[in-house]
Structure 1
Amino acid sequence: MLVQLLRRFNRKERYWLLMDALGAPARHLSEEYRNRLGAMLDADIPKNAWWAMDYHFDWLHAALTWFSSPETSADQIPAWRNPMKEGGKRIIRGNQEDIDLIIAFGSTLFLIEAKGEGAWSQSQMTSKAKRIAALPQPAGVTVRLILAGRKESLQNIANGKWCDEIPAKMKNEQTGIPFYLQLSSFGDGKELCTVTRCEEAKKPNKNGEFWSIIRQHSVSSTVE
């Protein structure tokens, strides 16, 4: 039931483009990924586990609310109250703030936020943590928050106050912070490039009248 409701809101064009371009194999998570994720979470992730990318918090909140109201039929959907939360923002915001990847099967839901380059922004994670904390928590539903990235990306992230916003049962009980899964690869071992705004002498300047290309070292990683 939970998966069916989550499916109803999956309107992200990128997801459907991938399904169109990659076909049937893209509908299932790889066995290697399921095994790595399952071993960390002590969970048996089935081959047919459903997944979606860039899933909006508004959709997630709506699906969990609907799941919590089994008496609500598709033909008689009410208008739920949209309360103002701390900071003067309502629960449903009508924006595209999202979770990078969600995986659902049975009554289990994994929320995965990824960072391949640089560090997680404390302001960004604080905003997302507040959205996660405001999600309905239906009885019997298991929700876990996982960060996915290179090892370097996790540095000092646990020190952020945003971690305190996340409900304890969504985090790693042993560490008190979200679960962490290292990306098996990022960049395939090849040199990557980025673009920067700069001055004519290539000194970085966000208001500069020039731009340049910065070559970076490989940021591929190997799972230990």
Structure 2
Amino acid sequence: MHSSNSEHEDKPLSLVERLKQFNRKERYWLLRNAIGETGADLQLSKSFRESLYAKIGVTVPVSAWWAMDYHIDWLFSALVLDRLRPQLKEPLLNYENSENPEKPPRRLIQGTQEDFDLIIAFDRTLILIEAKGATNWGNAQMKRKCERLHDWANVSRKITPHSTYQPIDIFMVLTSPAESQRLERQTWPDIIKVEKGSPYFLPLSLGGAANSFRVTERCDEGGTRCSTGAYWKVESRSYSRGQHKGGQS
């Protein structure tokens, strides 16, 4: 890993500045251009910040930085650099998480586009948010995100931090119109803050959306779904506008 910008800065970079260096997701920059905010970070709304405070008990400042679809590889890269400074040398060892002898070890940086839907960062606090609207939560996807956070927890214990390093509070939050009762409970690493063993849940408003969404499906001439269909049809896909309904099962 070689960067055109020297990492041996006269002024150490903050956590947010580290995260910003990796944020090259086009959707984020397109959004900023589309709403005419190209010269400054976009601010989270007061109501959203207050909703987060009500759930996690931490005040999210108006200056909090955020990014969309932030790759997990980017996140871990920023966290490693934040932990190593100022004794950074390149190339960096791509650590393996080998804590489970029954499974093959996983590298920390995997070269995939796996991401968190929204990340929020300020001071030494990081909030990771996964969202679902009309689609359902998937146990396999959530298990995978949990495994990758276990990778970071395991690897971070192997990296000796610099002398002035301060720990980062990392919160895991799920948001959707109604809380899923089908998600399997995962064992989250102890460095990730959750609520009673499950991610914090934040209701997601779909105010202004259609009463039901339309879904395009391929089918045969008789209307039967098939992946090689020479026809297609439109189906309705309902979603719940309900609020928080207790813990996950």
Query: TM-score if structure 1 supplies the norm length?
Result: 0.85
**CA–CA distance in structure 1, aligned partners of residues 135 and 207 of structure 2:** 12
Structure 1 residue aligned with 2:192, among 170, 173, 178? Answer: 170
List alignment gaps of at least 5 residues for structure 2: 1-13, 245-249
Change (3 A) 1:200 1:187: farther
Instruction: Please list the CA deviations of residues 48-91 of structure 1 after superposition, one character each: whole Å capped at 9, or x if unmatched.
Output: 10000000010001000001012146xx5432234365445422
5+ residue gaps, structure 1: none
Q: Which residue of 1 aligns with 2:247?
A: none
> 1:176, CA displacement in angstroms?
1.1
User: How many Å separate the matches in 1 of 2:190 and 2:207?
Assistant: 30
Give the corresponding residue for 1:144.
171
Taking only aligned residues, the RMSD between alpha carbons, in angstroms, comes to 2.4
1:62 and 2:77 matched: yes
SS at match of 2:91: coil
- Greater fraction helix: 1
Q: Which residue of 2 aligns with 1:155?
A: 181
| TM-superposed deviation, 1:40 | 0.7
Mapped to 2, the partners of 1:178 and 1:89 lie a distance apart of 23
CA distance in 2, matches of 1:26, 1:106: 15
Whole-angstrom distance in 1 between the partners of 2:84 and 2:23? 20
Cα distance in 2 for residues equivalent to 1:45 and 1:167: 23
TM-score by structure 2 length? 0.78
Could you tell me which residue of structure 2 aligns to residue 35 of structure 1?
A: 50
> What letter corresponds to residue 25 of structure 2 in structure 1?
K
* 1:221 corresponds to which of 238, 241, 244: 241
2:35 aligns with 22
Question: Secondary structure in 2 aligned to 1:156?
Answer: coil
Aligned residue in 1 for 2:7: none
Q: Displacement of 1:204 after TM fit?
A: 1.9
What is the CA distance between 1:123 and its match in structure 2?
1.4
Instruction: Name the counterpart of 2:225.
Output: 204
Matches within 5 A, 1:15-164: 15-24=28-37, 27-72=42-87, 76-83=89-96, 86-87=103-104, 89-135=106-152, 139-151=166-178, 153-157=179-183, 159-160=184-185, 163-164=186-187
Identity across matched positions, percent = 36
Q: In structure 2, what is the Cα distance between the partners aligned to 1:186 and 1:216? A: 16
